[in-house]
C-alpha cells in the first residue's frame, strides 16, 4: 500500500466515527425534543407503533444512504 491509500483509509475511519457520533447526537436531540424529556406514560399519550415504525424505517434508509459515501 502506498501512502495515499493509507491516508485515505485513516480519513475514512475517522469520518465514519465523526458521522456516527453526530447522527447519534442528532437522534438523541430529536427524541428529547419530541418527548420534551418525559416518558410517554407521564404525558398520557399512547405509544403510536405505526408512527414509530415509519420513523425507524426512514432512519434506516438515511443511514444506508450515508454509508454509500
Q: What are the domain boundaries of the chain?
A: 3-67
% of the chain residues with pLDDT over 90: 25
Q: Which residue has the cell 416518558?
A: 39
pLDDT at 46: 58
Low-confidence residues of the chain, pLDDT below 70? 37-47, 68-69
Task: Report the distance separating Cα 54 and Cα 57, nearest Å.
Answer: 5
**Are the C-beta atoms of 19 and 66 separated by less than 8 Å?**
yes
pLDDT at 69: 60
pLDDT at 15: 93
Task: Report the distance separating Cα 63 and Cα 69, nearest Å.
Answer: 11
pTM: 0.45
Amino acid at each position: 500500500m502506498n501512502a495515499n491509500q493509507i491516508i485515505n483509509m485513516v480519513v475514512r475511519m475517522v469520518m465514519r466515527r465523526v458521522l456516527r457520533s453526530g447522527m447519534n447526537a442528532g437522534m438523541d436531540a430529536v427524541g428529547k425534543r419530541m418527548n420534551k424529556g418525559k416518558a410517554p406514560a407521564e404525558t398520557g399519550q399512547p405509544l403510536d407503533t405505526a408512527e414509530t415504525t415509519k420513523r425507524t424505517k426512514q432512519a434506516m434508509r438515511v443511514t444506508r444512504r450515508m454509508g454509500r459515501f
